[in-house]
């Protein structure tokens, strides 16, 4: 074995012996205390043997006190293992004598020996072989003492002995495993301590040059800090470092441009005081900090800043959590996007203007077809509103989630007014005829469905990006189909009829029934309702009829509003 390793082994042995001595004293004192206190258990559980047991306990305690006093003498410290092993053997023998008085193997007093084994062997730094030797010795003391002290050893005694032996041996085995782990941990700890001492010695050797190294490192850090500060201040975004309460710990010089205040003036103030969001600046900052604390990311969050002059600045926030020597902080990078938001608003206004113009053109085209046969002047507006009521109701019903989305609602609102666009191709003699049409005339009238589909197909070819024209074609072509298949032009049945056409079909019929025409008077709402519900599963989709019934109060109110508007426009 190398000399250095041998020296190290001897140092470990000295450390372990010293630790064994200290823990031996602890175990002896604990035995003195607990052996004395267990006299109270004797007084309660076995009054008839109290005096005898008190004598046993007193003799044992006096012996332990003598051991403690002897160990206080320096020359006796080396005999600590002998004292503790003797104390454990005497303790086991004393408790075994008590168990003989209480029924031998039947007595539960043997648990006291288990407590001694668990307490002492788990505390003392012992090898596995030592633990097994001491534990086995105490087991033999117990068994032999009880066997010798019991007059008649019956079969039941042996069964009880086997039961008690199981707990003895199990405890000794567990204690041996624990002692092995504790000893290995102790050795590693001692090794680590020696390594640290060696490192400390080397540091002491280098201490002479340490001050020079520290000074050099400080100069390097100062130079690095100056470079970082220049970079930090040259960033064109607002960079803010805040603590967990939202107070500004550091902010770059861009604060003068964005907030109108110097960094020194902002030190210690709350960043939330300069933020405008719906839920309030303090709550917003708290939510961002919570997200970052849980490992989340904050990127591209739009908000508004309010500077010292009360000017509102559109901004975009990105944030991260940073660890510094003094703890965790949160770095906010805030970018001024006012110019970008202004361009977005201009673009949005342009799109809105274009969309408004487009809708006006569409409505005007539909009005051109309507004005030839509809003298009410509000038919298209009513169809659009009735359609919206039905679609909104169906959207809340199960089974329509895939068909009815926001795009569908917007498209059918636009395209419903084009349902009769094909009437531009019907001769006035038929379109404006006040009486009943002949079979030949009605066949010509039915052709307006095909005309409308063809007109919209041509428009779709020229602008295939306008999605509502697809819906408009379906509506124009199939809004006269019937649920039972007796409609025109294709005689489609049930769900083969496009949903948009089924919806507009009911809205168109309700408006036709409740409006005055040259050939008929207007029906009341209740009359129209009765006719429509009667045609459920005949002319109309039953689900759409149900939607109409659920929203009939709004149908009625909408109709009354149009009647009121019409009466105001009509001269007395």
Take residue 62 and report the two structure tokens written for it: 């006096």
277 vs 283: CA distance, rounded Å: 9
Who contacts 249 (Cβ-Cβ below 8 Å, separation ≥6)? 241, 242, 243, 267, 329
Q: Which of 296, 302, 330 is nearest to 314 (CA)?
A: 302
Q: Quick one: pLDDT at residue 357?
A: 46
Correct CATH for 236-336 of 1.10.20.10, 3.10.129.10, 3.30.70.100, 3.30.450.20: 3.30.450.20
Question: Per-domain residue ranges for the chain?
Answer: 3-201, 236-336, 345-569
Strand partners, 312: 306
Sheet with 298-306, side-by-side order of all strands:
248-251, 238-242, 327-336, 312-324, 298-306, 275-276
User: 89: helix, coil or strand?
Assistant: helix
Whether residue 423 contacts residue 450, with contact meaning beta carbons closer than 8 Å, is answered with no
Q: What is the pLDDT along the chain (572 residues), one digit of tens a residue?
A: 333 443 445 566 777 888 888 888 888 898 888 888 888 888 888 888 888 888 988 998 899 899 989 988 988 888 888 888 898 889 888 888 888 888 888 888 878 888 888 777 777 888 888 888 888 888 888 888 888 877 776 776 777 778 888 878 888 878 777 777 776 776 677 667 666 666 665 655 555 555 566 566 656 655 555 555 555 666 667 788 888 788 887 787 776 677 777 877 778 888 778 887 766 778 888 888 888 877 777 887 887 877 777 778 888 888 888 777 667 778 888 887 776 766 566 544 444 544 544 555 465 555 555 655 554 457 888 999 999 999 999 999 999 988 999 889 989 988 898 898 888 888 888 888 877 889 998 999 999 999 888 888 876 555 444 567 888 899 999 999 999 999 999 999 999 999 999 999 999 999 999 988 767 788 999 999 999 999 988 999 999 999 999 999 999 999 898 888 777 665 55
Q: Is 345-569 assigned to CATH 1.10.3210.10?
A: yes
- The pLDDT of residue 330: 80
Q: At residue 571, what are phi and psi to the nearest 5 degrees?
A: -65, 145
Return the SS3 of 514: coil
**In whole angstroms, what separates CA 60 from the centre of its chain?**
63
Calculate the alpha carbon distances from 222 to 23, 209, 226 in Å.
53, 20, 6
Query: How many of the other CB atoms lie within 10 Å of CB of 44?
Result: 8
- Decide: 136 and 32 in contact? Cβ < 8 Å: no
């Amino acid at each position: 074995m190398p000399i250095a390793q041998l020296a190290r082994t001897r140092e470990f042995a000295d450390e372990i012996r010293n630790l064994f001595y200290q823990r031996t004293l602890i175990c002896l004192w604990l035995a003195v205390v607990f052996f004395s206190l267990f006299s109270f258990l004797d007084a309660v559980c076995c009054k008839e043997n109290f005096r005898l047991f008190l004598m046993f306990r007193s003799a044992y305690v006096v012996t332990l006190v003598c051991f403690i006093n002897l160990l206080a003498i320096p020359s006796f410290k080396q005999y600590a293992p002998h004292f503790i092993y003797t104390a454990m053997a005497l303790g086991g023998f004393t408790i075994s004598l008590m168990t003989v008085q209480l029924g031998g193997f039947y007595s539960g007093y043997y648990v006291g020996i288990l407590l001694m084994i668990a307490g002492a062997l788990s505390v003392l730094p012992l090898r596995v072989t030592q633990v097994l030797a001491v534990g086995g010795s105490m087991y033999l003391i117990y068994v032999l003492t009880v066997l010798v002290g019991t007059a008649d050893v019956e079969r039941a005694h042996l069964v009880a002995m086997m039961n008690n032996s199981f707990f003895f041996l199990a405890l000794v085995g567990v204690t041996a495993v624990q002692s092995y782990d504790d000893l290995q941990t102790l050795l590693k700890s001692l090794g680590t301590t020696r390594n640290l001492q060696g490192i400390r010695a080397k540091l002491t050797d280098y201490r002479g040059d340490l001050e020079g190294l520290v000074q050099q490192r400080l100069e390097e850090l100062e130079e690095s800090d100056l470079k970082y500060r220049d970079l930090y201040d040259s960033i064109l975004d607002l960079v803010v470092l805040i603590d967990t309460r939202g107070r500004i710990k550091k902010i770059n010089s861009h604060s003068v441009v964005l907030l109108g205040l110097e960094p020194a003036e902002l030190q210690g103030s709350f960043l939330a005081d300069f933020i405008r969001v719906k839920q309030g600046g303090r709550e917003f900052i708290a939510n961002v900090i919570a997200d970052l604390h849980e490992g989340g990311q904050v990127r591209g969050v739009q908000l508004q800043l309010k500077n010292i002059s009360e000017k509102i600045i559109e901004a975009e926030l990105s944030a991260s959590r940073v660890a510094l020597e003094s703890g965790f902080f949160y770095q906010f990078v805030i970018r001024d996007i006012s110019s970008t938001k202004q361009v977005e608003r201009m673009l949005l206004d342009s799109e809105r203007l274009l969309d408004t113009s487009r809708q006006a053109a569409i409505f005007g085209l539909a009005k051109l077809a309507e004005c030839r046969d509809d003298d009410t002047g509000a038919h298209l507006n009513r169809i659009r509103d009735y359609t919206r009521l039905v679609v909104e109701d169906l959207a809340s019903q199960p089974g329509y989630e895939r068909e009815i989305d926001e795009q569908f609602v917007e498209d059918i609102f636009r395209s419903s007014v084009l349902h009769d666009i094909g009437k531009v191709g019907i001769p006035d003699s038929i379109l404006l005829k006040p009486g009943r049409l002949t079979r030949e005339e009605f066949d010509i009238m039915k052709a307006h469905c095909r005309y409308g589909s063809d007109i919209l197909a041509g428009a779709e070819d020229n602008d295939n990006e306008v999605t509502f024209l697809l819906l408009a074609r379906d509506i124009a072509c199939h809004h006269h189909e019937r649920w039972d298949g007796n409609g025109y032009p294709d005689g489609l049945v049930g769900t083969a009829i496009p949903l948009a056409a089924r919806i507009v079909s009911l809205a168109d019929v309700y408006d036709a029934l409740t409006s005055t025409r040259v050939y008929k008077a207007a029906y009341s709402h209740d009359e129209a309702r009765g006719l429509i519900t009667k045609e459920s599963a005949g002319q109309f989709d039953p689900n759409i009829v149900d939607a109409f019934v659920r929203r009939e109060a709004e149908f009625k109110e909408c109709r009354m509003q149009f009647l009121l508007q019409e009466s105001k426009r009509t001269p007395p």
